[in-house]
Structure 1
Amino acid sequence: MVRKQDLVSDTDSFVNSVEDSLDILSSFDTRSSRKTWPQSAPEVSNLGHSSLYSDLAHVFLEISDDRIAAKALAQLEGDRAQTILDTLQTILDSEHTSITSGNRARILYLTLQLAKRSGLYPQSLHLTDVTREDTHAVTAGHFGEIWKGRFRGRAVCMKVLKVYQRSDVTKLLRLFAREGILWSHLSHENLLPFYGFHRLDDDAGRMCLISPWAEHGCVRDYLQRNPDVNRYSLVRDSCQGLLYLHNHGIIHGDLKGVNILVTKSGRACVADFGLSAVAESEIMKWTSLASSAGVGGTVRWQAPELFDPNTEEAKPTKMSDVYSLGCVFYEIFTGEIPFHEVSRESTVISHMQSGRQPSKPSPDSLPFSTWGLSEEVWNSCIHQSWSRTPEERPTIPYLLRRLAAVEAAEGRRRGSERRGASSGRPPEAWLTAAEVRNSIRMSRGRDVRSGRRPYVRADGGLPSWNEPTRWLQWLRTSA
């Protein structure tokens, strides 16, 4: 039986009990997926999931309320930490875990703290069945190369990070552990899912970040090929994706057109949040493309306060994200990057520090005449987002309201209404991140520890739920 007090007084006993419970859950999940339950336990699947998942969740919620126990949990290392991380991830992913969103957040926080301290991540985030489709990368950027790959028959994006020493790859994995776990638990139609990590079979064992493949690439490339699409839909999607992150307390920090991807149905998805935060810490010491112009090469999209010479440790905020969002509006409505007429990054920084903003298109240009840009959008959305005072920048809900009002007025003027952001667009045919993790968990199973005698109750009945070890033994013998 898993008990909170054992975590401090008898850590081995606690971890072993948790591992027993995880073995039971793995057996249940595997049997449920294959429908191979013995006749002696016709209702055991549903009973087992709901009861044991709830019991485990309750134990970890108790730990989250106990400062000493929570600290002891976060200090676990090696195999002990891995067992707990796998268990916490299983609890969070299971449809049988009946807990409130607040309690789910508490368990996720325990997971993140343990990952941060141990440098480990749940095994279900480690993807092995990934192959590269072509012999060359689709594109290359500051952090690395983008390859198209396959994962269990589905197209995926492989972001291969440019770190070439095996020891540095290991350090990088430790840095990405927490970010990857957090990213994998976010779900929104305007957010690119994160499936997990994959290591290439090369000398360095380079690390890849795996996500679904966005059919149309980044928003700028998409607009070059499809100039007549509804650009309001794309900026709304970008707003909704960033708003979802902000509502979950997450700063993107690297928002720009190449990080807005367009799906097969034409939906814009925000991608690559969290990468800049890792880059700011250590990764730039190891990558071959470290830039003195700014983290991630994003000078043109970064808010001016991030280049304040009087502040050495300026960090991205929600308001600096809004500044970058204004730059994304600029890209979508004009087809140009900010300060496109300036080639040197240092000159861009000088312009920003002196108060200059990206150039406004002429009234007879394509942006104003054909692509939907209006004075109202320029003034109330783009221009305001570039305010030098962060507190004067608009909120994302305000931007969404202004966009809706302008588009509705424009539709009435033209005698037609533009389609809404999601009108006529089916959900993406992607696996969710949780589905990927559960499928990995099912296919791998767990190595059952040996050395225990099988246990079956004399009356042929089932063990009690406070006897996890006996449940495990019963499951082994009833296979």
Structure 2
Amino acid sequence: MQDQGTANNVLQAVQILLSIAPVPGLAAAAIAIQEVLKLVNNVAARRSECEALAGFATNVLATINSSAKVREDSQMAMAISAVTKVIADMQTDFGVWKNYSRLTGYIQNSEIRSRIEGHRAGLNEALITVGLTQTLAQAEWNQKFTEAHSEDQVLLQDISQKQDQTNKEITELKQLLIPSSVQRTDNEAEENRASVMQKLSHLRSQPGVLTSSDLIYEVQKTGDRPFHSGALYELWKGVWLDKYVVVLKVFRGKDLTEQPTNKAVDRINRQVDLWRTLKHDNILPLCGIYHLKERGRDDASVCFVSPWMTNRDMMRYLKIFPNVNRLKLIHDVAKGLQYLHSVGILHGALQGSNVLVNDGGSAVLSDFSLSKSMEPDTMMSQTGSQSSLRWWAPETQNHQTLSSHTDVYSWAMTALQIVSGHEPYYNIKAIGQLVSAINKHITPKRSDYDDSGELLKNDRLWSLLEACWNADPKKRPSMDQVVTELEALGSGSVASSEVAQAAVVNSQPGSSGSHTPPPVATTTLLVPSTEPVPSTPQSTAMQPPPLTATLLAATATSTKEESSHGVSNPSPKKGLFERFINLFSRIRS
């Protein structure tokens, strides 16, 4: 669509706003349409159709505005209400879509198209309500939407063709890894595998291409036992592309190979692809999925493959390094959650155990649901433990769906856990008493955390936590507001504030404090990392350096930052890690 058309829409919206005062109920719609017209300039996914929708909404608003000045009846009131709601919904959607990368928009294409059609239908229904459908040149608008659709399809087909070609090459290469009847010496087989893996790594790093999520023949499980075994899943260590240490998360009883055409499987595959397009320093990347063959089973379990986190989960990290800046860590968690909300994703099960810590000492979110609404029963099945109730908002226990408000509540409980070292309601052991307390909106008492260091003594921080625990979900702050407040408190670069100073005080009195990781520069942007596989056996595996913003931009520069790790900090082996992160950032760009 032409920029001139958008400019005309903006001018018309301003003119509507100036003339709208006499018409009750339309002022909010006029203000919202201006925001829509600003947002559409930053939307990449189905940009042409979004521009057409914005222009159509502007004209519908102008038409109803003119008619409302000369007639007042119930139908007109209904039309005004309907148009106001549609435009408000458009503002919300455009606000999310502007944060989509090119590939995220591609994955979400069907949903975006459906929402656009729904908004257009809602605007037309408003016109029908007051008999104004003939006022607009419907044939002309139909033509505009048809042309916009064609323009968007060309871009989508370009992405699709690139992906199909790349995935075809990947499939052909993987065939060379299948044991064949051709007799090869050990050296020949090793050279063949090394060559194939190098080519696969190159294909996986193609910019702007979301390659197949299936990592069959690319991943090898290491060890005979998982390093973690829980009620719902096991965690194994593995190697991807013969270079990078990864984690294989194997779900118990989740064999997705039995019904490959099942809608649930299709939805999961789509969510896997969506996760792989997410790009944020505080979000755990997903490499893909792998079918793990287990002893005694004829089928294979599907597992998620993610970069290895040397520091593992947050609570384990804090036991080893009790003196770290905990305010920075809860700020990291808030930023990760803020990003998820900005792209329309809820976490749904946030707590300390599913917050990981990367090699640079930054918090990384994992185990999020990738769904916009989920019943509490589903949450129970995901967490696998009634003790997860400690982090849930009261409304989720009354069988209401999840929302960004429930995530905010869970963030505050997780923040309390990180800062204090105690689970929420740690002094309530019985599940029945816990449920009763939560349903009565009884929140943690500050006096119960007197032994948790200086940070919780800050009135402003405690007030923020209490605001997030508000019994009325709509009165809780947004994650944007939470992040802003934390930054004002001293998180990030303001290291000299009272709160930032308190953050480094050991929140577990009695600890020797001997385990203190090297400081990480607050100006360094760290992303989830993985460790390269040592070329020769070593007693301590070599660790990668933290990733700077320069590397994140896929420029081949080296970093002098030192990484902090759970056990030791040997000199890192340069090169492999940078190429791996370069692969990640290019895939998700």
> What RMSD over aligned residues (CA atoms) do the two structures have, in Å?
4.2
Q: What SS is found at the alignment partner of 2:212?
A: helix
Q: 1:198 — aligned with what?
A: 290
Q: 2:394 — aligned with what?
A: 304
CA contact (8 A) 1:176 1:278 kept: no
The equivalent position to 2:441 in structure 1, one of 355, 369, 390, is: 355
Opposite residue 381 of structure 1, the aligned amino acid is L
Q: 1:185 — aligned with what?
A: 277
Confirm whether residue 262 of structure 1 aligns to residue 357 of structure 2. Answer: yes
Structure 1 gap segments, 5+ residues each: 1-57, 67-98, 115-120, 440-479
Report the alpha carbon displacement of residue 438 of structure 1 after superposing the two structures with TM: 8.4
Report the alpha carbon displacement of residue 136 of structure 1 after superposing the two structures with TM: 1.6
The verdict on how the C-alpha distance between 1:356 and 1:64 changes in structure 2, with shifts beyond 3 A counting, is closer
Deviations 1:52-89, CA, capped at 9 Å, x for gaps: xxxxxx9x9899999xxxxxxxxxxxxxxxxxxxxxxx
Opposite residue 411 of structure 1, the aligned amino acid is S
Confirm whether residue 402 of structure 1 aligns to residue 485 of structure 2. Answer: yes
The verdict on how the C-alpha distance between 1:142 and 1:255 changes in structure 2, with shifts beyond 3 A counting, is farther
Q: 2:215 — aligned with what?
A: 127
Confirm whether residue 411 of structure 1 aligns to residue 559 of structure 2. Answer: no
The verdict on how the C-alpha distance between 1:206 and 1:282 changes in structure 2, with shifts beyond 3 A counting, is farther
Normalised to the residue count of structure 2, the TM-score between the two structures is 0.49
The equivalent position to 1:368 in structure 2, one of 453, 458, 462, is: 453
Report the alpha carbon displacement of residue 112 of structure 1 after superposing the two structures with TM: 6.9
Q: 1:447 — aligned with what?
A: none
Opposite residue 368 of structure 1, the aligned amino acid is G
Residue correspondence of structure 1 range 187-226 to structure 2 within 5 A: 187-202=279-294, 203-226=298-321
Q: 2:420 — aligned with what?
A: 334
Opposite residue 108 of structure 1, the aligned amino acid is I
Opposite residue 423 of structure 1, the aligned amino acid is T
The equivalent position to 1:138 in structure 2, one of 217, 220, 227, is: 227
Separation in structure 2 between the aligned mates of residue 264 and residue 100 of structure 1, nearest angstrom: 27
CA contact (8 A) 1:193 1:432 kept: no
Q: 1:427 — aligned with what?
A: 547
The verdict on how the C-alpha distance between 1:104 and 1:155 changes in structure 2, with shifts beyond 3 A counting, is closer
The verdict on how the C-alpha distance between 1:169 and 1:145 changes in structure 2, with shifts beyond 3 A counting, is farther
CA contact (8 A) 2:469 2:476 kept: yes
Separation in structure 2 between the aligned mates of residue 355 and residue 376 of structure 1, nearest angstrom: 21
Opposite residue 421 of structure 2, the aligned amino acid is G
CA contact (8 A) 1:330 1:338 kept: yes
Q: What SS is found at the alignment partner of 1:125?
A: coil
Deviations 1:154-182, CA, capped at 9 Å, x for gaps: 11111101116566574564341121111
Query: Which structure 1 residue ranges, 4+ long, deviate > 4 Å from structure 2?
Result: 60-66, 99-106, 111-114, 164-172, 275-285, 289-293, 361-364, 412-421, 428-434, 436-439
Deviations 1:77-122, CA, capped at 9 Å, x for gaps: xxxxxxxxxxxxxxxxxxxxxx9968765533236799xxxxxx98
Report the alpha carbon displacement of residue 271 of structure 1 after superposing the two structures with TM: 1.1
Separation in structure 2 between the aligned mates of residue 344 and residue 173 of structure 1, nearest angstrom: 37
The verdict on how the C-alpha distance between 1:258 and 1:148 changes in structure 2, with shifts beyond 3 A counting, is same
Opposite residue 496 of structure 2, the aligned amino acid is G
Separation in structure 2 between the aligned mates of residue 103 and residue 126 of structure 1, nearest angstrom: 21
The verdict on how the C-alpha distance between 1:361 and 1:335 changes in structure 2, with shifts beyond 3 A counting, is farther
Separation in structure 2 between the aligned mates of residue 306 and residue 155 of structure 1, nearest angstrom: 37
Deviations 1:403-431, CA, capped at 9 Å, x for gaps: 23333798345997988983356427477
The verdict on how the C-alpha distance between 1:315 and 1:65 changes in structure 2, with shifts beyond 3 A counting, is same
The verdict on how the C-alpha distance between 1:431 and 1:64 changes in structure 2, with shifts beyond 3 A counting, is farther
Q: 1:157 — aligned with what?
A: 247
Report the alpha carbon displacement of residue 362 of structure 1 after superposing the two structures with TM: 5.0
Structure 2 gap segments, 5+ residues each: 1-43, 53-97, 114-166, 168-209, 505-518, 527-545, 549-576
Deviations 1:223-278, CA, capped at 9 Å, x for gaps: 11100000111011111111011111111111111111100110111111126879
Q: 1:12 — aligned with what?
A: none
The verdict on how the C-alpha distance between 1:300 and 1:250 changes in structure 2, with shifts beyond 3 A counting, is same
Deviations 1:292-350, CA, capped at 9 Å, x for gaps: 84xxx631111101112xxx4x2110010000000111111110111122233333221
CA contact (8 A) 2:458 2:499 kept: no
Residue correspondence of structure 1 range 224-235 to structure 2 within 5 A: 224-235=319-330
Report the alpha carbon displacement of residue 402 of structure 1 after superposing the two structures with TM: 2.5
Opposite residue 281 of structure 2, the aligned amino acid is E
CA contact (8 A) 1:169 1:204 kept: no
Normalised to the residue count of structure 1, the TM-score between the two structures is 0.59
